[in-house]
A and B are shown apart, each in its own frame.
Chain A
Amino acid sequence: MSFEVLWRYAPALVGGFGVTVLCWSLGAVIGLTFGLAIALLGRLELAPLRWLLRACVETIRGTPFLVQLFLLYAGGPFIGLKLSATAAGILGLGAYSSAYFSEIFRAGFASVPEGQSEAAISVGMRPVDIFWRIRLPIALVATLPAIVNMLVILSKETVVLSIITVPELMYQMQTMAAETFTAFDAIFAMAIFYWLLVEAVSRLGRRLEARLTAFMSGEARPA
Protein backbone atom coordinates (compact mmCIF):
# COMPACT_ATOMS: atom_id res chain seq x y z
CA MET A 1 0.00 0.00 0.00
CA SER A 2 1.56 3.24 -1.11
CA PHE A 3 0.14 6.22 0.74
CA GLU A 4 2.68 8.41 -0.92
CA VAL A 5 1.11 7.70 -4.32
CA LEU A 6 -2.42 8.15 -3.01
CA TRP A 7 -1.40 11.45 -1.45
CA ARG A 8 0.15 12.66 -4.65
CA TYR A 9 -2.98 11.79 -6.62
CA ALA A 10 -5.37 13.03 -3.94
CA PRO A 11 -6.44 16.20 -5.80
CA ALA A 12 -7.27 14.20 -8.92
CA LEU A 13 -9.11 11.55 -6.91
CA VAL A 14 -11.15 14.07 -4.93
CA GLY A 15 -11.92 15.89 -8.15
CA GLY A 16 -12.99 12.59 -9.69
CA PHE A 17 -15.19 11.89 -6.71
CA GLY A 18 -16.80 15.31 -7.22
CA VAL A 19 -17.51 14.49 -10.88
CA THR A 20 -18.98 11.14 -9.80
CA VAL A 21 -21.31 12.84 -7.32
CA LEU A 22 -22.27 15.46 -9.90
CA CYS A 23 -23.07 12.89 -12.61
CA TRP A 24 -24.94 10.71 -10.17
CA SER A 25 -27.06 13.50 -8.71
CA LEU A 26 -27.90 15.20 -12.01
CA GLY A 27 -28.54 11.83 -13.64
CA ALA A 28 -30.85 10.94 -10.75
CA VAL A 29 -32.78 14.21 -11.07
CA ILE A 30 -33.26 13.61 -14.81
CA GLY A 31 -34.18 9.97 -14.20
CA LEU A 32 -36.70 10.79 -11.48
CA THR A 33 -38.30 13.56 -13.52
CA PHE A 34 -38.60 11.54 -16.71
CA GLY A 35 -39.52 8.40 -14.79
CA LEU A 36 -42.44 10.24 -13.22
CA ALA A 37 -43.42 11.71 -16.58
CA ILE A 38 -43.32 8.28 -18.27
CA ALA A 39 -45.42 6.75 -15.49
CA LEU A 40 -48.00 9.53 -15.81
CA LEU A 41 -48.12 9.52 -19.62
CA GLY A 42 -48.54 5.75 -19.48
CA ARG A 43 -51.78 6.26 -17.59
CA LEU A 44 -53.36 8.24 -20.42
CA GLU A 45 -55.82 6.38 -22.61
CA LEU A 46 -53.59 6.64 -25.67
CA ALA A 47 -52.63 3.21 -26.95
CA PRO A 48 -49.87 4.29 -29.41
CA LEU A 49 -48.18 6.48 -26.77
CA ARG A 50 -48.38 3.73 -24.17
CA TRP A 51 -46.92 1.26 -26.63
CA LEU A 52 -44.07 3.61 -27.50
CA LEU A 53 -43.20 4.26 -23.84
CA ARG A 54 -43.38 0.56 -23.10
CA ALA A 55 -40.95 -0.15 -25.96
CA CYS A 56 -38.49 2.49 -24.70
CA VAL A 57 -38.59 1.20 -21.14
CA GLU A 58 -38.16 -2.40 -22.23
CA THR A 59 -35.26 -1.52 -24.56
CA ILE A 60 -33.42 0.29 -21.79
CA ARG A 61 -34.07 -2.46 -19.28
CA GLY A 62 -33.13 -5.13 -21.77
CA THR A 63 -29.69 -3.83 -22.74
CA PRO A 64 -26.52 -3.18 -20.69
CA PHE A 65 -25.91 0.39 -19.56
CA LEU A 66 -22.43 0.23 -21.05
CA VAL A 67 -23.85 -0.36 -24.52
CA GLN A 68 -26.42 2.43 -24.18
CA LEU A 69 -23.79 4.86 -23.02
CA PHE A 70 -21.39 4.02 -25.79
CA LEU A 71 -24.14 4.34 -28.41
CA LEU A 72 -25.17 7.73 -27.02
CA TYR A 73 -21.63 9.12 -26.91
CA ALA A 74 -20.11 7.57 -30.03
CA GLY A 75 -23.31 7.23 -32.09
CA GLY A 76 -24.87 10.56 -31.06
CA PRO A 77 -22.86 12.71 -33.52
CA PHE A 78 -24.29 10.68 -36.44
CA ILE A 79 -27.75 12.00 -35.61
CA GLY A 80 -26.46 15.47 -34.77
CA LEU A 81 -26.23 14.90 -31.04
CA LYS A 82 -22.74 16.09 -30.16
CA LEU A 83 -22.18 15.90 -26.43
CA SER A 84 -19.18 16.29 -24.17
CA ALA A 85 -18.25 13.10 -22.35
CA THR A 86 -19.66 14.38 -19.06
CA ALA A 87 -22.90 15.62 -20.63
CA ALA A 88 -23.36 12.28 -22.39
CA GLY A 89 -22.67 10.51 -19.10
CA ILE A 90 -25.26 12.53 -17.20
CA LEU A 91 -27.85 12.15 -19.95
CA GLY A 92 -27.08 8.43 -20.19
CA LEU A 93 -27.55 7.89 -16.46
CA GLY A 94 -30.77 9.89 -16.65
CA ALA A 95 -32.20 7.87 -19.53
CA TYR A 96 -31.11 4.58 -18.01
CA SER A 97 -32.57 5.27 -14.58
CA SER A 98 -35.77 6.84 -15.94
CA ALA A 99 -36.81 3.41 -17.21
CA TYR A 100 -36.45 1.89 -13.75
CA PHE A 101 -37.92 4.89 -11.93
CA SER A 102 -40.95 4.85 -14.25
CA GLU A 103 -41.66 1.25 -13.24
CA ILE A 104 -41.32 2.16 -9.56
CA PHE A 105 -43.73 5.09 -9.94
CA ARG A 106 -46.16 3.01 -11.99
CA ALA A 107 -46.36 0.46 -9.20
CA GLY A 108 -46.63 3.28 -6.66
CA PHE A 109 -49.63 4.90 -8.32
CA ALA A 110 -51.27 1.53 -8.80
CA SER A 111 -50.97 0.94 -5.05
CA VAL A 112 -52.96 4.04 -4.06
CA PRO A 113 -56.42 2.76 -3.11
CA GLU A 114 -59.19 3.98 -5.41
CA GLY A 115 -61.24 4.97 -2.38
CA GLN A 116 -58.83 7.74 -1.44
CA SER A 117 -59.30 9.35 -4.84
CA GLU A 118 -63.06 8.83 -4.65
CA ALA A 119 -63.16 10.64 -1.33
CA ALA A 120 -61.42 13.59 -2.99
CA ILE A 121 -63.72 13.44 -6.03
CA SER A 122 -66.79 13.33 -3.81
CA VAL A 123 -65.91 16.63 -2.11
CA GLY A 124 -65.42 18.23 -5.51
CA MET A 125 -61.62 18.51 -5.61
CA ARG A 126 -60.06 19.26 -8.99
CA PRO A 127 -58.01 16.49 -10.68
CA VAL A 128 -54.82 18.56 -10.38
CA ASP A 129 -55.31 18.92 -6.60
CA ILE A 130 -56.19 15.23 -6.27
CA PHE A 131 -52.91 14.39 -7.98
CA TRP A 132 -50.59 16.74 -6.08
CA ARG A 133 -52.25 16.59 -2.67
CA ILE A 134 -53.52 13.02 -2.48
CA ARG A 135 -52.21 10.52 -5.03
CA LEU A 136 -48.61 11.67 -5.41
CA PRO A 137 -47.77 11.91 -1.67
CA ILE A 138 -49.31 8.52 -0.95
CA ALA A 139 -47.48 6.95 -3.91
CA LEU A 140 -44.17 8.55 -2.91
CA VAL A 141 -44.32 7.18 0.60
CA ALA A 142 -45.12 3.72 -0.73
CA THR A 143 -42.23 3.79 -3.21
CA LEU A 144 -39.55 5.53 -1.16
CA PRO A 145 -37.61 2.34 -0.26
CA ALA A 146 -37.53 1.28 -3.92
CA ILE A 147 -36.44 4.77 -5.01
CA VAL A 148 -33.58 4.85 -2.49
CA ASN A 149 -32.54 1.39 -3.62
CA MET A 150 -32.41 2.53 -7.24
CA LEU A 151 -30.41 5.63 -6.26
CA VAL A 152 -27.82 3.39 -4.59
CA ILE A 153 -27.59 1.20 -7.68
CA LEU A 154 -27.25 4.28 -9.86
CA SER A 155 -24.41 5.69 -7.75
CA LYS A 156 -22.40 2.58 -8.55
CA GLU A 157 -23.32 2.58 -12.24
CA THR A 158 -21.34 5.83 -12.55
CA VAL A 159 -18.13 3.76 -12.84
CA VAL A 160 -19.25 2.85 -16.36
CA LEU A 161 -18.85 6.49 -17.39
CA SER A 162 -15.07 6.01 -17.31
CA ILE A 163 -15.20 4.14 -20.63
CA ILE A 164 -16.31 7.29 -22.44
CA THR A 165 -13.55 9.29 -20.64
CA VAL A 166 -15.70 11.15 -18.15
CA PRO A 167 -13.09 12.27 -15.57
CA GLU A 168 -14.93 10.66 -12.68
CA LEU A 169 -13.48 8.60 -9.86
CA MET A 170 -12.98 5.35 -11.75
CA TYR A 171 -11.26 7.19 -14.58
CA GLN A 172 -8.88 8.97 -12.20
CA MET A 173 -8.14 5.72 -10.40
CA GLN A 174 -7.32 3.95 -13.65
CA THR A 175 -5.06 6.81 -14.63
CA MET A 176 -3.27 6.59 -11.31
CA ALA A 177 -2.95 2.81 -11.52
CA ALA A 178 -1.58 2.97 -15.06
CA GLU A 179 0.92 5.68 -14.28
CA THR A 180 2.23 4.24 -11.02
CA PHE A 181 1.53 0.49 -11.25
CA THR A 182 -0.55 0.56 -8.08
CA ALA A 183 -3.62 -1.39 -9.16
CA PHE A 184 -4.38 -2.78 -5.71
CA ASP A 185 -4.18 0.60 -3.98
CA ALA A 186 -6.47 2.10 -6.60
CA ILE A 187 -9.14 -0.58 -6.17
CA PHE A 188 -8.89 -0.33 -2.40
CA ALA A 189 -9.22 3.47 -2.37
CA MET A 190 -12.10 3.28 -4.80
CA ALA A 191 -13.99 0.82 -2.62
CA ILE A 192 -13.73 3.26 0.27
CA PHE A 193 -14.97 6.22 -1.80
CA TYR A 194 -17.98 4.31 -3.11
CA TRP A 195 -18.74 2.86 0.27
CA LEU A 196 -18.84 6.42 1.65
CA LEU A 197 -21.15 7.53 -1.13
CA VAL A 198 -23.56 4.59 -0.81
CA GLU A 199 -23.59 4.90 2.96
CA ALA A 200 -24.46 8.60 2.69
CA VAL A 201 -27.26 7.90 0.21
CA SER A 202 -28.72 5.06 2.30
CA ARG A 203 -28.61 7.12 5.47
CA LEU A 204 -30.33 10.00 3.79
CA GLY A 205 -32.94 7.59 2.46
CA ARG A 206 -33.56 5.98 5.84
CA ARG A 207 -33.92 9.39 7.43
CA LEU A 208 -36.38 10.53 4.80
CA GLU A 209 -38.31 7.30 5.14
CA ALA A 210 -38.51 7.56 8.91
CA ARG A 211 -39.70 11.11 8.60
CA LEU A 212 -42.30 10.41 5.92
CA THR A 213 -43.73 7.27 7.44
CA ALA A 214 -43.76 8.50 11.02
CA PHE A 215 -47.17 10.00 10.43
CA MET A 216 -48.67 6.68 9.40
CA SER A 217 -48.47 5.53 12.98
CA GLY A 218 -47.82 8.67 14.97
CA GLU A 219 -49.01 12.04 16.09
CA ALA A 220 -48.34 15.26 14.27
CA ARG A 221 -45.71 17.46 15.73
CA PRO A 222 -47.25 20.50 17.39
CA ALA A 223 -47.19 23.36 14.92
Chain B
Amino acid sequence: MSEMMIEIRGVCKSFGRLQVLRDVDLTVERSQVVCLIGPSGSGKSTLLRCVNFLETYDSGEILIGGKLIGYRDDPGGRRPMASGELRGMRREIGMVFQHFNLWPHMSALQNVAEPLLRVRGLTASAADERARAVLKRVGLADKAASYPGRLSGGQQQRVAIARALAMQPRLMLFDEPTSALDPELVGEVLEVMRSLAAEGMTMLIVTHEMGFAAHVADRIAFIDAGRIIEKGPPRQVFHESAEPRVRQFLQTYHDRNSF
Protein backbone atom coordinates (compact mmCIF):
# COMPACT_ATOMS: atom_id res chain seq x y z
CA MET B 1 0.00 0.00 0.00
CA SER B 2 1.33 3.43 -0.88
CA GLU B 3 2.19 5.93 1.79
CA MET B 4 -0.29 8.70 2.58
CA MET B 5 1.29 12.17 2.70
CA ILE B 6 -1.84 14.22 3.26
CA GLU B 7 -5.08 12.89 4.70
CA ILE B 8 -7.93 15.34 5.06
CA ARG B 9 -10.97 13.91 6.81
CA GLY B 10 -14.25 15.62 7.53
CA VAL B 11 -12.75 19.10 7.68
CA CYS B 12 -15.15 21.98 8.32
CA LYS B 13 -14.37 25.65 8.65
CA SER B 14 -16.37 28.85 8.98
CA PHE B 15 -15.45 32.50 8.83
CA GLY B 16 -18.10 33.84 11.20
CA ARG B 17 -21.43 32.74 9.73
CA LEU B 18 -19.97 31.86 6.37
CA GLN B 19 -19.18 28.17 6.07
CA VAL B 20 -16.21 27.91 3.71
CA LEU B 21 -15.35 24.21 4.06
CA ARG B 22 -18.01 21.55 4.53
CA ASP B 23 -16.96 18.06 5.51
CA VAL B 24 -14.02 17.88 3.12
CA ASP B 25 -12.24 14.55 2.52
CA LEU B 26 -9.13 14.33 0.36
CA THR B 27 -5.97 12.27 0.34
CA VAL B 28 -2.65 12.73 -1.41
CA GLU B 29 -0.24 9.80 -1.63
CA ARG B 30 3.51 10.11 -1.76
CA SER B 31 4.72 11.37 -5.17
CA GLN B 32 1.20 12.15 -6.25
CA VAL B 33 0.18 15.43 -7.83
CA VAL B 34 -3.34 16.53 -6.93
CA CYS B 35 -4.91 19.66 -8.37
CA LEU B 36 -7.75 21.52 -6.69
CA ILE B 37 -9.97 23.31 -9.16
CA GLY B 38 -13.25 25.14 -8.90
CA PRO B 39 -14.81 28.57 -9.08
CA SER B 40 -13.43 31.58 -7.19
CA GLY B 41 -14.49 31.72 -3.57
CA SER B 42 -15.23 28.02 -3.43
CA GLY B 43 -12.72 27.39 -0.62
CA LYS B 44 -9.79 25.93 -2.58
CA SER B 45 -7.16 28.29 -1.16
CA THR B 46 -8.60 28.03 2.34
CA LEU B 47 -8.36 24.26 2.20
CA LEU B 48 -4.75 24.47 0.98
CA ARG B 49 -3.86 26.91 3.75
CA CYS B 50 -5.34 24.56 6.33
CA VAL B 51 -2.87 21.87 5.26
CA ASN B 52 0.08 23.79 6.76
CA PHE B 53 -2.20 25.38 9.34
CA LEU B 54 -1.85 28.96 8.07
CA GLU B 55 -5.60 28.75 8.55
CA THR B 56 -7.13 26.91 11.47
CA TYR B 57 -9.95 24.45 10.87
CA ASP B 58 -12.92 23.99 13.14
CA SER B 59 -13.42 20.24 13.04
CA GLY B 60 -12.21 17.13 11.28
CA GLU B 61 -8.56 16.24 10.91
CA ILE B 62 -5.64 16.86 8.61
CA LEU B 63 -2.76 14.40 8.87
CA ILE B 64 0.64 15.05 7.35
CA GLY B 65 2.58 11.81 7.02
CA GLY B 66 0.16 10.30 9.52
CA LYS B 67 0.52 13.09 12.09
CA LEU B 68 -2.28 15.51 12.99
CA ILE B 69 -1.33 19.12 12.20
CA GLY B 70 -2.25 22.11 14.35
CA TYR B 71 -3.94 20.22 17.18
CA ARG B 72 -3.24 17.65 19.81
CA ASP B 73 -6.05 15.27 20.64
CA ASP B 74 -5.89 14.70 24.39
CA PRO B 75 -8.32 12.52 26.35
CA GLY B 76 -9.83 15.76 27.66
CA GLY B 77 -10.39 17.19 24.20
CA ARG B 78 -8.58 18.97 21.40
CA ARG B 79 -5.87 21.52 22.16
CA PRO B 80 -3.68 23.68 19.95
CA MET B 81 -0.38 22.04 19.14
CA ALA B 82 2.78 23.43 20.80
CA SER B 83 4.19 26.14 18.57
CA GLY B 84 7.62 24.52 18.33
CA GLU B 85 6.09 21.26 17.18
CA LEU B 86 3.96 23.07 14.60
CA ARG B 87 7.05 24.83 13.23
CA GLY B 88 8.73 21.43 13.02
CA MET B 89 5.89 20.16 10.83
CA ARG B 90 5.77 23.29 8.70
CA ARG B 91 9.39 23.09 7.69
CA GLU B 92 8.64 19.78 5.98
CA ILE B 93 5.84 21.40 3.95
CA GLY B 94 6.91 23.81 1.21
CA MET B 95 4.47 26.51 0.20
CA VAL B 96 4.32 28.73 -2.86
CA PHE B 97 1.99 31.72 -2.88
CA GLN B 98 0.03 33.51 -5.60
CA HIS B 99 1.89 36.77 -4.97
CA PHE B 100 5.32 35.12 -4.45
CA ASN B 101 5.81 36.85 -1.07
CA LEU B 102 9.56 37.17 -1.52
CA TRP B 103 11.32 39.32 1.07
CA PRO B 104 12.05 42.58 -0.78
CA HIS B 105 15.10 43.53 1.29
CA MET B 106 16.96 40.34 0.43
CA SER B 107 18.54 39.22 -2.84
CA ALA B 108 17.29 36.08 -4.58
CA LEU B 109 20.15 34.16 -2.98
CA GLN B 110 19.40 35.55 0.50
CA ASN B 111 15.71 34.75 0.11
CA VAL B 112 16.59 31.10 -0.50
CA ALA B 113 19.39 30.94 2.08
CA GLU B 114 17.57 32.71 4.96
CA PRO B 115 15.35 29.77 6.01
CA LEU B 116 18.34 27.42 5.69
CA LEU B 117 20.28 29.62 8.13
CA ARG B 118 17.47 30.33 10.58
CA VAL B 119 15.47 27.13 10.46
CA ARG B 120 17.77 24.36 9.22
CA GLY B 121 20.73 25.79 11.10
CA LEU B 122 23.12 25.46 8.18
CA THR B 123 26.42 27.36 8.25
CA ALA B 124 26.63 30.44 6.02
CA SER B 125 28.77 28.67 3.44
CA ALA B 126 26.61 25.52 3.38
CA ALA B 127 23.43 27.61 3.05
CA ASP B 128 25.00 29.67 0.28
CA GLU B 129 26.07 26.57 -1.58
CA ARG B 130 22.68 24.88 -1.34
CA ALA B 131 20.84 28.08 -2.26
CA ARG B 132 22.96 28.51 -5.38
CA ALA B 133 22.36 24.90 -6.38
CA VAL B 134 18.59 25.26 -6.04
CA LEU B 135 18.54 28.58 -7.92
CA LYS B 136 20.41 26.83 -10.71
CA ARG B 137 17.82 24.07 -10.60
CA VAL B 138 15.05 26.63 -11.36
CA GLY B 139 17.17 28.27 -14.06
CA LEU B 140 18.15 31.41 -12.14
CA ALA B 141 21.83 30.87 -11.35
CA ASP B 142 22.66 34.22 -12.95
CA LYS B 143 20.05 36.10 -10.86
CA ALA B 144 21.39 35.13 -7.43
CA ALA B 145 22.46 38.71 -6.62
CA SER B 146 19.28 40.39 -7.92
CA TYR B 147 16.69 41.78 -5.56
CA PRO B 148 13.04 40.80 -6.16
CA GLY B 149 12.24 44.30 -7.44
CA ARG B 150 14.49 43.65 -10.42
CA LEU B 151 12.98 40.29 -11.36
CA SER B 152 10.01 39.52 -13.58
CA GLY B 153 6.96 37.87 -12.03
CA GLY B 154 7.95 34.51 -13.46
CA GLN B 155 11.46 34.83 -12.10
CA GLN B 156 10.16 35.90 -8.69
CA GLN B 157 7.88 32.88 -8.55
CA ARG B 158 10.77 30.59 -9.47
CA VAL B 159 12.83 32.11 -6.64
CA ALA B 160 9.87 31.47 -4.33
CA ILE B 161 9.76 27.84 -5.49
CA ALA B 162 13.52 27.61 -4.92
CA ARG B 163 13.07 29.01 -1.40
CA ALA B 164 10.54 26.31 -0.57
CA LEU B 165 12.49 23.59 -2.36
CA ALA B 166 15.80 24.37 -0.64
CA MET B 167 14.24 23.31 2.66
CA GLN B 168 13.94 19.82 1.13
CA PRO B 169 10.28 19.46 2.07
CA ARG B 170 8.40 16.18 1.92
CA LEU B 171 5.55 17.82 0.06
CA MET B 172 4.73 21.12 -1.57
CA LEU B 173 1.62 23.28 -1.63
CA PHE B 174 0.97 25.72 -4.47
CA ASP B 175 -1.67 28.42 -4.07
CA GLU B 176 -2.56 29.64 -7.57
CA PRO B 177 1.14 29.98 -8.46
CA THR B 178 0.53 31.43 -11.92
CA SER B 179 -2.57 33.56 -11.34
CA ALA B 180 -0.61 36.79 -10.84
CA LEU B 181 1.58 36.31 -13.90
CA ASP B 182 1.45 37.67 -17.42
CA PRO B 183 0.38 34.90 -19.82
CA GLU B 184 3.89 34.96 -21.30
CA LEU B 185 5.49 34.11 -17.98
CA VAL B 186 3.16 31.31 -16.94
CA GLY B 187 5.02 28.70 -18.97
CA GLU B 188 8.37 29.01 -17.19
CA VAL B 189 6.76 28.47 -13.80
CA LEU B 190 4.65 25.54 -14.96
CA GLU B 191 7.80 24.03 -16.52
CA VAL B 192 9.56 24.03 -13.13
CA MET B 193 6.48 22.50 -11.48
CA ARG B 194 6.25 19.86 -14.18
CA SER B 195 9.85 18.84 -13.61
CA LEU B 196 9.25 18.66 -9.84
CA ALA B 197 6.32 16.35 -10.48
CA ALA B 198 8.49 14.21 -12.75
CA GLU B 199 11.04 13.88 -9.94
CA GLY B 200 8.39 12.49 -7.67
CA MET B 201 7.63 15.52 -5.45
CA THR B 202 4.30 15.22 -3.67
CA MET B 203 2.25 18.26 -4.67
CA LEU B 204 -1.13 19.75 -3.84
CA ILE B 205 -1.91 22.56 -6.26
CA VAL B 206 -4.72 25.10 -6.40
CA THR B 207 -4.85 26.26 -9.99
CA HIS B 208 -6.89 27.72 -12.80
CA GLU B 209 -4.51 26.26 -15.38
CA MET B 210 -6.79 23.51 -16.63
CA GLY B 211 -4.32 22.35 -19.30
CA PHE B 212 -1.60 21.90 -16.69
CA ALA B 213 -4.01 20.12 -14.34
CA ALA B 214 -5.17 17.79 -17.10
CA HIS B 215 -1.64 16.83 -18.12
CA VAL B 216 0.30 16.78 -14.86
CA ALA B 217 -2.16 15.87 -12.12
CA ASP B 218 -2.65 12.28 -11.04
CA ARG B 219 -5.96 13.26 -9.57
CA ILE B 220 -8.21 16.28 -9.64
CA ALA B 221 -10.62 17.46 -6.99
CA PHE B 222 -13.37 19.92 -7.88
CA ILE B 223 -14.58 22.16 -5.07
CA ASP B 224 -17.79 24.11 -5.14
CA ALA B 225 -19.20 26.10 -2.21
CA GLY B 226 -16.84 24.47 0.26
CA ARG B 227 -17.60 20.89 -0.78
CA ILE B 228 -15.63 18.51 -2.94
CA ILE B 229 -18.24 17.47 -5.48
CA GLU B 230 -16.03 15.50 -7.83
CA LYS B 231 -12.65 13.81 -7.64
CA GLY B 232 -10.75 11.37 -9.76
CA PRO B 233 -8.24 11.09 -12.57
CA PRO B 234 -8.21 14.08 -14.96
CA ARG B 235 -9.89 12.15 -17.74
CA GLN B 236 -12.84 11.30 -15.53
CA VAL B 237 -13.28 14.80 -14.08
CA PHE B 238 -12.78 16.64 -17.36
CA HIS B 239 -14.81 14.43 -19.63
CA GLU B 240 -17.00 12.00 -17.76
CA SER B 241 -18.33 13.92 -14.78
CA ALA B 242 -22.02 13.56 -14.10
CA GLU B 243 -22.07 16.68 -11.91
CA PRO B 244 -23.82 19.53 -13.72
CA ARG B 245 -21.75 22.15 -11.82
CA VAL B 246 -18.49 20.53 -12.96
CA ARG B 247 -19.65 20.21 -16.56
CA GLN B 248 -20.79 23.81 -16.61
CA PHE B 249 -17.50 25.09 -15.15
CA LEU B 250 -15.39 23.07 -17.54
CA GLN B 251 -17.55 23.99 -20.51
CA THR B 252 -16.20 27.51 -20.41
CA TYR B 253 -12.70 26.05 -20.45
CA HIS B 254 -13.49 23.79 -23.40
CA ASP B 255 -15.13 26.72 -25.22
CA ARG B 256 -12.13 28.94 -24.72
CA ASN B 257 -9.79 26.35 -26.20
CA SER B 258 -11.91 25.42 -29.20
CA PHE B 259 -11.23 28.35 -31.47
Q: Name A's B-contacting residues (CB within 8 A).
A: 113, 115-116, 118-126, 129, 133-134, 137-138, 141, 215-220, 222
Query: A130 → chain B, closest Cβ, in Å?
Result: 9
Q: Which of B98-106, B197-205, B238-246 contacts A (4 or more CB under 8 A)?
A: B98-106
B80 within 8 A of A: no
B247 within 8 A of A: no
Is A217 a contact of B87 with CB atoms below 8 Å? no
* Nearest CB in chain A to that of B148: its residue: A216
B212 within 8 A of A: no
Is B147 a contact of A219 with CB atoms below 8 Å? yes
Centre residue among B99, B114, B146 by max chain A CB count within 10 A = B114
* Nearest CB in chain A to that of B95: its residue: A122
Is B105 a contact of A137 with CB atoms below 8 Å? yes
**How does the 8 Å CB contact mask read for B78-94 relative to A, with 1 for contact and 0 for none?**
00000000011111011
Tell whether A219 pairs with B149 under 8 Å between CB atoms, given A124-B88, A133-B114.
Answer: no
Tell whether A123 pairs with B119 under 8 Å between CB atoms, given A216-B104, A219-B145.
Answer: yes
Is B115 a contact of A125 with CB atoms below 8 Å? yes
Query: A214 → chain B, closest Cβ, in Å?
Result: 9
Interface of A is mostly: helix
Is B115 a contact of A124 with CB atoms below 8 Å? yes
In the assembled complex, which residues on chain B have CB atoms less than 8 Å from the CB atom of A116? 101-104
**How does the 8 Å CB contact mask read for B106-137 relative to A, with 1 for contact and 0 for none?**
01010000110011000000000000000000
Is B90 a contact of A126 with CB atoms below 8 Å? no
Is A138 a contact of B147 with CB atoms below 8 Å? no
Query: A136 → chain B, closest Cβ, in Å?
Result: 10
In the assembled complex, which residues on chain A have CB atoms less than 8 Å from the CB atom of B103? 116, 119-120, 134, 138
In the assembled complex, which residues on chain B have CB atoms less than 8 Å from the CB atom of A137? 105
Q: How distant is the Cα of A218 from the Cα of B160 in the complex, in angstroms?
A: 19
25 A/B residue pairs, CB under 8 Å, sorted by A: A116-B104, A118-B97, A119-B160, A120-B115, A121-B90, A123-B90, A123-B91, A123-B94, A123-B95, A123-B167, A124-B89, A124-B90, A124-B115, A125-B87, A126-B87, A133-B118, A138-B104, A141-B105, A215-B104, A217-B149, A218-B147, A219-B145, A220-B107, A220-B109, A220-B147
B219 within 8 A of A: no
Is B147 a contact of A125 with CB atoms below 8 Å? no
Is B101 a contact of A219 with CB atoms below 8 Å? no
In the assembled complex, which residues on chain B have CB atoms less than 8 Å from the CB atom of A215? 104-105, 107, 147, 149
Q: How distant is the Cα of A52 from the Cα of B95 in the complex, in angstroms?
A: 40
Tell whether A126 pairs with B118 under 8 Å between CB atoms, given A215-B147, A216-B149, A222-B145.
Answer: yes
Query: A147 → chain B, closest Cβ, in Å?
Result: 16
Is B115 a contact of A121 with CB atoms below 8 Å? no
Going nearest first, the 8 A-B pairs with the smallest beta carbon separation are: A124-B91, A119-B101, A115-B101, A123-B115, A122-B95, A124-B87, A220-B145, A124-B90
In the assembled complex, which residues on chain A have CB atoms less than 8 Å from the CB atom of B94? 122-123
Query: B56 → chain A, closest Cβ, in Å?
Result: 13
B163 within 8 A of A: yes
Query: B91 → chain A, closest Cβ, in Å?
Result: 3
Q: How distant is the Cα of A9 from the Cα of B30 in the complex, in angstroms?
A: 83
Is A118 a contact of B101 with CB atoms below 8 Å? yes
User: Given A115-B97, A123-B119, list of 15 further CB < 8 A pairs?
Assistant: A113-B101, A116-B104, A119-B95, A119-B102, A119-B103, A122-B52, A123-B90, A123-B94, A123-B115, A123-B164, A125-B87, A125-B119, A126-B87, A215-B107, A220-B109
